[in-house]
Amino acid sequence: MASDAPLILLAEPHPLSADLIVTLLEDLGLKAVVVTRGDALLEALLSREGHVVLLSSDLPDMDGFRATRQIRDLERRRLIPPVVVIGLTPQGLLDERQLCLDAGMDGQVSKPVTLGRLSAALSPYPLPN
């Protein structure tokens, strides 16, 4: 994996899921930084880390929907540049895609994440080299 690979911020509190998603991202030629809490995610974004956020809906300190609203508020206040936010939701969550879009996310992927689903979710967004 190239050191100049686009950086993905992965907000995922479950170590096994995080490990799997990091491996899938590496297979796509992407680099990931993992955070396990919403406050750590916001700090990373304020430090200008990440081109895309993969955001679990079940962070321990705030759910992914609240975290997304806070990200969008930081963007409106011009404290961070616009970022792509893709929700990671449990499979079977009723109206999961619509919940993500209503919160301000750009897309959604159901867990368990597969290479195909992850690639499809990221494909609409050009990532810097």
Instruction: Parse the chain into domains and list their residue ranges.
Output: 7-121
Q: Which CATH number fits domain 7-121: 3.30.365.10, 3.20.20.140, 3.40.50.2300, 3.30.565.10?
A: 3.40.50.2300
Query: Cα(124)–Cα(129) distance, rounded to whole angstroms?
Result: 15
pLDDT digits (tens, 9 = 90+) for 13-31: 999 999 999 999 999 999 9
Give the pair of three-digit tokens for residue 70. 């806070």
pLDDT tens for residues 97-116?
888 999 999 999 998 999 99
**pTM for the whole structure:** 0.92
Q: Cα(57)–Cα(91) distance, rounded to whole angstroms? A: 11
φ, ψ for residue 31, nearest 5 deg: -110, 140
| Element containing residue 88 per DSSP (H, E) | strand 84-90
- H or E element: which one contains 108? strand 107-111
